[in-house]
C-alpha cells in the first residue's frame, strides 16, 4: 500500500494522534519578514516557505483536460479569482531540523528570471541562508519548476555541499531513454526529459541518493508516495513533538485552488490523470479527517493551511 492513513500516522510519530497539529507563524525577532519568506515551527523543526516568484499568464484555453474553458473560469470566479488571467506560483521550503539545513524542491532556476520566477535563491538569502550551508536537497518530482534551481546560471551545482535526495521511481522513469524516446521530438514531455538530463548531469553522482516511500530521509521528514502527477511523485510528512505538516508538493498543481475544489479534474501537468485524481482524493480525505496542516507548492503564498471537505470536493483554508 503506497498511501494509507495508517502509513501517515505511523510515520508521523504516535504523539501526534491527538489532533494537536499546529501551524504557528513565527514573528521575526527584530525586523519584518522579507517579502516572499514565511517562517513557521512544527515542533522543534523550523520550516521557511520561500517564494520562487510568480509567472503571469492569460487564460485562453482550459488548464484542465476535464473541464471546458468556461467551466474552469466559473471555478476561478467561485474562488474570487479573475476569469481571464492568472499567476502561477511556486513555493520551495528551507527546513532546519536536527542541526541540518534542508531545502525541499528548488524552484524554476536562474534561466527563468525573465519570466518572473527563479527567485528562490534571492529569497533563500533574504531568509538568512547561504546555499553553501545547505546539507541536503530533497526533490518531490522532476518537473522543471521543482528541479531547475539545483543548477546555477553558470551550470554548477547551486548547493555545492548538499546531498541531493530524489524519489527512486522518479529517477527510474525519467532517466530511461525508452520513456524519453516515446515522447515526440519537440513536445513539452520530450523537453522535460532533456531538462532532467541537463540538471542531473550537473550533480556529481557521489552527492546523489535515491529514496523509496515510507523512509525517513532527514530528521522528522518521511517520504510518502503520491503518484499520478508524475510516476514517482512524492509528498512528505514533517513531524516533531505534537506538530505535523504534510508537504503535498503537486498533489494539486497549476492553479491549484481550482483542483482542490474540483479534485476529479485532470490537471494539465498530471501525467496519469486517473491516478492523480485517486491520489488527491485519498490524501485530502485523510488530511480533512485528521485536520492535518498542509503546504502546497502551487498554493497561494504562504502556501500553508488546511484542507476541508466542501460539497463534492474540498476547500483550502489558509493559515490565519
Q: Point out which residues bind Zn ion (CB under 5 A).
A: 145, 250, 253
3-state secondary structure string across the chain: CCCCHHHHHHHCCHHHHHCCCCCEECCCCCCCCCCCEEEEEECCEEEEEECCEEEEEECCCCCECCCCHHHHHHHHHHCCCCCCEEEEECCCEEEEECCEEEEECCCCCHHHHHHCECCHHHHHHHCCCCHHHCCEEECCCCCHHHHHHHECCCCCECCCCCEEEEEHHHHHHHCCHHHHHHCCCCCHHHHHHHHHHHHHHCCCHHHEEEECCCCEEECCEEEEECCCCCCCCEEEEEEECCEEEEEEECCCCCCHHHHHHCCCCCECCCCCHHHHHHHHHHHHHHHHHHCCCEEECCCCCCCEEEEEEECCEEEEEECC
| Residue 145 vs 290, nearer CB to Zn ion | 145
Cβ 249 to Zn ion shortest distance, Å: 7
| Residue 83 vs 111, nearer CB to Zn ion | 111
| Residue 163 vs 250, nearer CB to Zn ion | 250
Cβ 145 to Zn ion shortest distance, Å: 4
| Residue 8 vs 89, nearer CB to Zn ion | 89
Cβ 209 to Zn ion shortest distance, Å: 22
| Residue 16 vs 256, nearer CB to Zn ion | 256
| Residue 169 vs 250, nearer CB to Zn ion | 250
Cβ 235 to Zn ion shortest distance, Å: 13
Cβ 280 to Zn ion shortest distance, Å: 14
Cβ 24 to Zn ion shortest distance, Å: 27
| Residue 43 vs 267, nearer CB to Zn ion | 267
Contact 169, 140 (CB under 8 A): no
Cβ 307 to Zn ion shortest distance, Å: 18
Amino acid at each position: 500500500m503506497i498511501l494509507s492513513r495508517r502509513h501517515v500516522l505511523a510515520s508521523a510519530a504516535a504523539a501526534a494522534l491527538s489532533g494537536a497539529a499546529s501551524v504557528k507563524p513565527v514573528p521575526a525577532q527584530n525586523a519584518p519578514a522579507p517579502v516572499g519568506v514565511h517562517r513557521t515551527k512544527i515542533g522543534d523543526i523550523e520550516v521557511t516557505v520561500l517564494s520562487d516568484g510568480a509567472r503571469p499568464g492569460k487564460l485562453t484555453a482550459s488548464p484542465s483536460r476535464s473541464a471546458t474553458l468556461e467551466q474552469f473560469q466559473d471555478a476561478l470566479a467561485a474562488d474570487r479569482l479573475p476569469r481571464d488571467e492568472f499567476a502561477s506560483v511556486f513555493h520551495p521550503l528551507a527546513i532546519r531540523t536536527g542541526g541540518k539545513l534542508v531545502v525541499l524542491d528548488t524552484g524554476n532556476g536562474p534561466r527563468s528570471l525573465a519570466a518572473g520566477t527563479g527567485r528562490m535563491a534571492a529569497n533563500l538569502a533574504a531568509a538568512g541562508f547561504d546555499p553553501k550551508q545547505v546539507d541536503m536537497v530533497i526533490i518531490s518530482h522532476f518537473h522543471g519548476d521543482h528541479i531547475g534551481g539545483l543548477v546555477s546560471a553558470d551550470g554548477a551545482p547551486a548547493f555545492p555541499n548538499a546531498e541531493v535526495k530524489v524519489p527512486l521511481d522518479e529517477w527510474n522513469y525519467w532517466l530511461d531513454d525508452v520513456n524519453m524516446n516515446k515522447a515526440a521530438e519537440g513536445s513539452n514531455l520530450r523537453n522535460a526529459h532533456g531538462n532532467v538530463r541537463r540538471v542531473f548531469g550537473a550533480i556529481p553522482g557521489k552527492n546523489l541518493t535515491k529514496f523509496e516511500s515510507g523512509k525517513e530521509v532527514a530528521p522528522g521528514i518521511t517520504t510518502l508516495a503520491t503518484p499520478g502527477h508524475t510516476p514517482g511523485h512524492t509528498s512528505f510528512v514533517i513531524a516533531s513533538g505534537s506538530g505535523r505538516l504534510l508537504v503535498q508538493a503537486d498533489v494539486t498543481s497549476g492553479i491549484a485552488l481550482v483542483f482542490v475544489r474540483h479534485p476529479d479534474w485532470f490537471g494539465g501537468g498530471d501525467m496519469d490523470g486517473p491516478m492523480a485524481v485517486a491520489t488527491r482524493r485519498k490524501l485530502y480525505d485523510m488530511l480533512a479527517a485528521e485536520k492535518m496542516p498542509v503546504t502546497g507548492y502551487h498554493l497561494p503564498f504562504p502556501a500553508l493551511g488546511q484542507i476541508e471537505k466542501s460539497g463534492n470536493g474540498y476547500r483550502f483554508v489558509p493559515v490565519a
